[in-house]
Amino acid sequence: MSTPFRTPAGGRIDRATTLQFTFDGLGFTGHPGDTLASALLAAGRHQVATSIKLGRPRGIAAAWAEDPGGLVQVEEPFPEPMLLASTVELFDGLVAHGLPGQGRLADVPDSARYDAVHHHVDVLVVGAGPAGLTAALTAARAGARVALVDEQSEAGGSLLSGTDRIDGVPALEWVSNAVAELARHPEVLHLQRTTAFGVYDDGFALALERRTDHLGAAAPKEVSRQRVWRLRARSIVTATGAHERPVVFADNDRPGTMLAGAARTFLHRYGVLPGREAVVFTTNDSAYDAALDLHRAGVRVQAVVEARPEAPPHRREECERAGIRVLPGAVVTGTQGVERVTHALVAPFSDGQVGTSSAVACDVLLVSGGWNPAVHLFSQARGRLRYDEGLGAFVPGEEVDGLSVAGSAAGVLDLAGCLADGQRVARETLSALAIDPAADDRLPSAPEPVAPTAPLVLWRVPDTSGAEGATQFVDLQRDATVADIARAVGAGLRSIEHVKRYTTIGTAHDQGKTSGVLTSGITAELLGVPVRDTGTTTFRPPYTPVAFAALAGRDRGSLFDPERVTALHQWHVAAGAVFEDVGQWKRPRYYPEPGEDMEAAVLRECAAARTGVGILDGSTLGKIDVQGPDAAVLLDRLYTNLISSLKVGSVRYGVMCGVDGMVIDDGTVLRLAEDRFLVLTTTGGAAKILDWMEEWVQTEWPDLRVHCTSVTEQWVTFPVVGPRSRDVVGALFPDVNVSNEAFPFMTWRDTSLEGVPVRLARISFSGELAFEVYVSPWYAVAVWQRLLEAGRPYGITPYGTETMHVLRAEKGYPIIGQDTDGTVTPHDLGMAWAVSKKKPDFVGKRSFARQANQDPRRKQLVGLLPVDRQTVLPEGSQIVEFLADGELPPPPVPMLGHVTSSYRSAELARPFALALVKGGRERIGDTVHVPVNGTLVPVEVTGSVLVDPEGARRDG
């Protein structure tokens, strides 16, 4: 497609290179340096989309992120929704189309890389326009560590859109000198294409750098596509500029309607004319630059519609010389056209009264209602805003610690003023940081501006179309109009926050960059109150949309949360284990043989452990080394049972409770020496229990001479379980007398295997004869394989966590956190035997005596046997009972408790469950009911120990 609206020369584009792209299925061309918007305008295309609710044509209305109109979806090289044509840099092969307000997420994974970098500076300067560059230069010259970030593809800010001169040279020459000087300072980080999107506490700011988006398919795969900069600054200077504000009139959303400043940007930066015949509608001086520049570029400027009674004299004279008609005391009341403006309706305007309109032919209507300082970051830093009557905008209204605002973001709207403000703010910032400014820090000079004439604050033109504001669009992205605000106010809403939520204004992709202040103004007008009373809605991060992929960075997939694997992991994988997540650990759940499902594998593994020998990788158990003369004192205070009486070489099971008396963890304790214990915790409780011990030692008992440290990863643990375990362990460790007399239950022995230290412990989590084998992870695979070899004659069977759970549940051993939930005492678990009556105090003891803990109706751990010998009760199922008449009580049916663990048992040849049941131990022998898939399954309440209740098996 041809580019009839491209100027013959000028702009920051590389005309020697032509890029091909596709929009809405049509082929277009552009140049490096173009945006999608400028390239479309060069072809004469204004409309890019239709609106979300009303389906009205919408076009490019601004040249950067404040554009409420030009919403697009990129399809190639990678699908990305909800972008603005004005901010998408053009590249070869781009495929995009317009969006009616809603995009489509990619249905394939994003293969690009995203990352994050931390960086610390003295001064962070946001914005590389005249104020920001001057501030950065002043800080850099003083030797401060500086970061300068700017969201555009090149530095310059507003200077990229004009014809200013600084220090007697074209402003962009000054910009490139400034950038070169900054590059010479080793402590300066200067990033373009980088949007500071959030300011948080204590000088923390987040910025998104778009590193390869502009390269399209040519983006190198090894470079991250986007990078989140996590910047920590001692002080922040925001020089974020100002957004031009539209004026609302009827049919102001018609493509071809554009902010006046944006037209200058398209002309000077991209070498594009927005049209052939322009009408310029303004309430302030700035739009005259657009009118005059476009005139010089060959656009026929039909009229400058000046809402003020008088045009500023020097501007009027300039227009006269150029032959441009100025209509003072006039407004645009509406537009004509279908998919593009064909006429502006112009009417006389005085004292708020609109006269009769006449149509002025044009193909582009440029609008300026003044400028809104971009106070977003200041406001995010909890800076209070002040309404400036003269500007008709909100400006920073107070000093904020560690953050200053410079240039037009602070309401300074002339170039010389912005340069001076940048230097002044930087010097104040340096002074607060006790850094002296450099002697050679010189203020760049710009021509003194002609004194401006006060702008007219005009939010909207009275609606003469008869539509009562229904086509006067305030928020184009939300299709929200003056009529919608009037409806909100009519419904009694007074707060601007309520008006925002009622109308949805400011909640779209652009977060109200053009509509926010207008809404405050129009709401105030409708309520008849000053704008300072309505105020503005809260600015929250992010300033512009940020992709979740960028925020996630490298923390995706397996890097999202650490995956912990044991030293045997590769062996488990090779053995075909099916894994389950236990906290961060990957644990083998079962080892299916060909053709086996989980149920078959678990029945086989359980049978091996109960009748032959099985082996488990139990390395994930938490292990804490507790050392010091007072180690036994600490453990006596934290465990419910007595630990200090434990002999060196012996093992004791212990329960820990919170101060409320509820069980928080359980496990075994090995006494290694008089002053040293190895505490074993549950897999999930390891970190929590170490923290718990530390908290008591540091905060309550700092006098105790004891140290606790995690040794979970210093030992692997292999329980060898079953009646033949003694044969296996005895064969592999011939130096150890494994007889019950020499090596009784709940003792441990040290030995070695070819010089490798090994610890053996008679601990059983299955009720069977069992030996736990501890060794350094370096030798894990070798020792495991030796155990398998030694066990081969007995059919040794590796088993996973599922079998471990069945075996322990058959014995009524609870899993803390599965069979308990933080409301369960040791007594509720039937573990009164593990609660010392000798110790005067321990954590939790006093709570056991509380009245609530004496209640016989407390939920207690019991076993359940489904009467049909078939049903595996779903864990979590509720338990109910029938009345004497054999019927359920009327709803709501009281719940007696719930199923906490449920499995199929090879040993019992039937399913069974553990459950917490009100007054459970009193109910042993009763039949209660469990609803399963709409049927009430009768179950017998039993004791919690279903296999070998006499404990005859543990010694083999």
Contacts with another protein by CB under 8 A lie at 200-202, 204, 659-660, 691, 694-695, 698-700, 702, 840-841, 845-847, 849-851
CB of 709 to another protein, least distance (A): 10
The SS3 call for residue 109 is: coil
Helix 598-611 to helix 801-810 angle (10° resolution) is 60
Q: Which is nearer to another protein, 317 or 700 (CB)?
A: 700
Helix 780-791 to helix 725-732 angle (10° resolution) is 120
Q: Which is nearer to another protein, 492 or 702 (CB)?
A: 702
Q: How far apart are CA 156 and CA 172, in angstroms?
A: 7
Query: CB neighbours (10 Å) of residue 378?
Result: 28
Q: Which is nearer to another protein, 362 or 381 (CB)?
A: 381
Q: Which is nearer to another protein, 558 or 851 (CB)?
A: 851
Q: Which is nearer to another protein, 691 or 789 (CB)?
A: 691
Q: For residue 75, give the nearest of 23, 111, 153 by alpha carbon.
A: 23
Q: Which is nearer to another protein, 21 or 692 (CB)?
A: 692
Q: For residue 196, give the nearest of 188, 204, 187, 184 by alpha carbon.
A: 204
Q: Which is nearer to another protein, 442 or 850 (CB)?
A: 850
Q: For residue 631, give the nearest of 644, 622, 615 by alpha carbon.
A: 644
* Whole-Å CA distances, 146 to 129, 231, 232, 430: 16, 11, 11, 11
HSE at residue 77, side-chain half, CA atoms within 13 A, is 18
DSSP per position, 555-619: -SGGGTSPPB--TTHHHHHHTTPEEEEETTEEEEEE-PPTT--HHHHHHHHHHHHHHS-EE---T
Alpha helices by DSSP H, listed for 702-831, are 725-732, 780-791, 801-810
Q: Which is nearer to another protein, 275 or 684 (CB)?
A: 684
Q: Which is nearer to another protein, 541 or 817 (CB)?
A: 541
Q: How far apart are CA 721 and CA 756, in angstroms?
A: 22
Q: Which is nearer to another protein, 154 or 660 (CB)?
A: 660
The answer to whether residues 46 and 65 touch, using CB atoms and an 8 Å cutoff, is no
- Phi/psi of residue 259, each to 5°? -65, 140
CB of 661 to another protein, least distance (A): 9
CB of 239 to another protein, least distance (A): 23
* Whole-Å CA distances, 121 to 143, 203, 394, 948: 11, 10, 29, 68
CB of 555 to another protein, least distance (A): 13
Name residue, tokens 């539509």: 467
Q: Which is nearer to another protein, 464 or 847 (CB)?
A: 847
CB of 227 to another protein, least distance (A): 18
Q: Which is nearer to another protein, 201 or 440 (CB)?
A: 201
Q: Which is nearer to another protein, 196 or 732 (CB)?
A: 196
Q: How far apart are CA 288 and CA 315, in angstroms?
A: 7
CB of 625 to another protein, least distance (A): 15
Amino acid identity for residue 223 in this structure: V
Stretch (H or E) spanning 178? helix 171-184
Q: For residue 155, give the nearest of 184, 120, 187, 125 by alpha carbon.
A: 125
Q: Which is nearer to another protein, 68 or 844 (CB)?
A: 844
Q: How far apart are CA 157 and CA 406, in angstroms?
A: 13
CB of 564 to another protein, least distance (A): 17
CB of 401 to another protein, least distance (A): 10
CB of 690 to another protein, least distance (A): 9
CB of 382 to another protein, least distance (A): 9
CB of 337 to another protein, least distance (A): 50
The answer, yes or no, to whether the previous bond of 814 is cis (omega within 30 of 0) is no
Query: CB neighbours (10 Å) of residue 558?
Result: 7
Q: How far apart are CA 787 and CA 733, in angstroms?
A: 10
Q: How far apart are CA 89 and CA 76, in angstroms?
A: 13
- The beta strands (E) that lie in 307-361 are given as 326-328, 330-337, 341-350, 353-354, 358-361
CB of 233 to another protein, least distance (A): 12
CB of 921 to another protein, least distance (A): 24
* Strand bridging mode 341-350 / 226-238: unpaired
CB of 700 to another protein, least distance (A): 5
The answer to whether residues 314 and 450 touch, using CB atoms and an 8 Å cutoff, is yes
The answer to whether residues 139 and 430 touch, using CB atoms and an 8 Å cutoff, is yes
CB of 645 to another protein, least distance (A): 21
- Six-digit token pair at 39? 């390239």
CB of 702 to another protein, least distance (A): 7
Q: Which is nearer to another protein, 439 or 849 (CB)?
A: 849
- Phi/psi of residue 58, each to 5°? -135, 145
Helices (H) and strands (E) in the chain, counts: 21, 50
Q: Which is nearer to another protein, 258 or 679 (CB)?
A: 679
